[in-house]
Structure 1
Amino acid sequence: MNDVQVEDHPPRSGEPLFRYIAEQYQALQQEPVIYQWKINYQSPTAWHSGLFGGGVGIFLGLYFPLRDGDVSIFNTMSNILYSLGVIMIFYARYLINTNKIYHYHITAKGIYYTLQDDIPEIAFTIMRGVGWFGCIACVLAAGLLGPAAFIGAGASALLAWKIKDMKPELKEEVCLYSNGDKAELTLFERGGAIKLHGREHISEFGVLYCLEGEYQKVLKLLYPYLDNYEVHEVGSWRAF
């Protein structure tokens, strides 16, 4: 193999590892690109954590009045819990488990790609406002909820402050073809996903998400460089 792919003892952690990956990325950029594509990828579990966390808030909003029996399910405390639950659902989905934009480049010496969260600026603006609204609502509800309201107020204020200057970060990654005898290629055709796992170094690991209808095309382009990979075909995201 060539010097783009192999170094006697590549670093495995810390700042040296980041520099090494950056150097490999720059080196691969000098290679002719065999094929490239950009994809906006949504994880199959993108809604799960938000629905769980938000569902807890909505459940509590229903639980307290149903437990007491003589309180409307649309009382002030419940309405605040419903609102916080809905906020959590959309916050988790669009600011934590957001779609990812991948831009892949296949070369004869490896794959380099960029990765960025797909978050429009309007989402940050809305969530900042929602965070401060939640803070004010919890403080106003302190008489009904007691000290617990200030926990919600603090969490809402922290949310608003945390996303004050947040911007999607563009990350540069590489996946070098492995020379090792333990390299694995995991294929999930139904999900249009390909995973390369060369166990010699982290720079030999990468997951490719293919555009609809291009899975076989990408696989055929890669096969000439993966002779030593052990192939595993899976039928679910869990197995992938």
Structure 2
Amino acid sequence: MISKEEIKQRQAQLDKEPIIYEWEAIYPAIVGKNGKLIRFCIGALPLLIVAILYTWFVVHKEAYITLIPMYIGLGLACYFVYFLQLSDNKCRYQLTQKGVITYTQQNIPESVYGFFRGFAWFGMGVCVVAAVVVGPAVFVGAGAFALMSFSFRNFKPQIDKDNHIFINDIKIFDIYDENHIMFMSKPFFIAAKTRLFYNTLEEKKIILEKLNKILIEPSFARFTSTKEAYQDDFIKNAFKLHNEMYRENQE
């Protein structure tokens, strides 16, 4: 059985392999049939409930002057949650003879990064002015704000790179309702990071043809969703082997 050290060596060598096919794809933060609904419930729905409750409170107390800043704050909060927590993902794939290299980042417009960098510098300026006028004691109450401003001053896109090697028995899953292809191996696999998203059916056809040539006609199955694919015997056995190896390493 191949060791973890050899796996790491093969992953490192993957960068030197010639690229057979390369493509980019954008996929949602929450993949699945109800992904958009889940994203709305996580992001927009709580803020909408807060807005309704606060509006009722304002009308009841006749404190209408607080509505505008409250709505602005909720709008910024929604902007923050959507773009930084629930934004789509952009992925670049490089298919080689021995595996796939993926570069993943959130699909966030540069204007969003610029906004938060500007907000950070503004916040730091406010803290400096407050410290000069009031004194260092101001950071007792505004320390969290100052720390947040400092951390956002160089806010830039973060690209995650992963090398996935072809190893042991491999099976390819066409998850057609979620627009991605998933390849799994026993027992070394990370299900969430072996998904190959595509933009068009023509692109999907090319990817499958390349994989079939590289892996010499591997096992293949089609499912509507990842959840359904997890019921496949191949994946169940892979999980079983993975868990057995994990227990052996713990002992």
Task: Calculate the TM-score normalised by the size of structure 2.
Answer: 0.63
How far did 1:84 drift? Answer: 2.6
2:13 maps to 1:27:
yes
Map of 2:222 onto structure 1: 233
CA distance in 2, matches of 1:110, 1:35: 11
2:49 maps to 1:63:
no
CA distance in 2, matches of 1:117, 1:234: 27
2:24 maps to 1:38:
yes
Task: Calculate the TM-score normalised by the size of structure 1.
Answer: 0.65
How does 1:177-188 map onto structure 2 within 5 Å? 177-180=166-169, 183-188=170-175
Letter in 2 for 1:127: F
Map of 1:112 onto structure 2: 101
CA distance in 2, matches of 1:237, 1:86: 34
Residues 108-144 of structure 1 show CA distances to partners (whole Å, capped at 9, x for unaligned) of 22112222333343212223556778xx9xxxxxxxx
Map of 2:182 onto structure 1: 195
| Mapped contact 1:175–1:203 kept (Cα < 8 A) | no
Cα distance, 1:239–1:111 mapped onto 2, change above 3 Å? same
How far did 1:167 drift? Answer: 1.7
Cα distance, 1:111–1:84 mapped onto 2, change above 3 Å? same
How far did 1:200 drift? Answer: 1.9
How far did 1:54 drift? Answer: 4.3
CA distance in 2, matches of 1:46, 1:161: 33
Letter in 1 for 2:18: P
Cα distance, 1:61–1:175 mapped onto 2, change above 3 Å? same
CA distance in 1, matches of 2:147, 2:2: 46
CA distance in 2, matches of 1:128, 1:76: 30
Letter in 1 for 2:52: L
Cα distance, 1:76–1:9 mapped onto 2, change above 3 Å? farther
CA distance in 2, matches of 1:124, 1:47: 26
- Identity across matched positions, percent: 17
1 or 2, which has the higher helix percentage? Answer: 2
Letter in 1 for 2:24: K
Residues 143-195 of structure 1 show CA distances to partners (whole Å, capped at 9, x for unaligned) of xxxxxxxx9x8876665444222222222212212314xx4432122432011
How does 1:87-166 map onto structure 2 within 5 Å? 87-128=76-117, 160-166=149-155
CA distance in 1, matches of 2:228, 2:146: 39
Aligned match for 1:221, one of 199, 210, 217: 210
Which blocks of at least 5 consecutive residues in structure 1 are unaligned?
1-6, 137-150
2:196 maps to 1:208:
yes
Which blocks of at least 5 consecutive residues in structure 2 are unaligned?
127-140, 230-251
Residues 73-93 of structure 1 show CA distances to partners (whole Å, capped at 9, x for unaligned) of x82444344323222222122
CA distance in 1, matches of 2:186, 2:143: 44
CA distance in 1, matches of 2:223, 2:22: 25
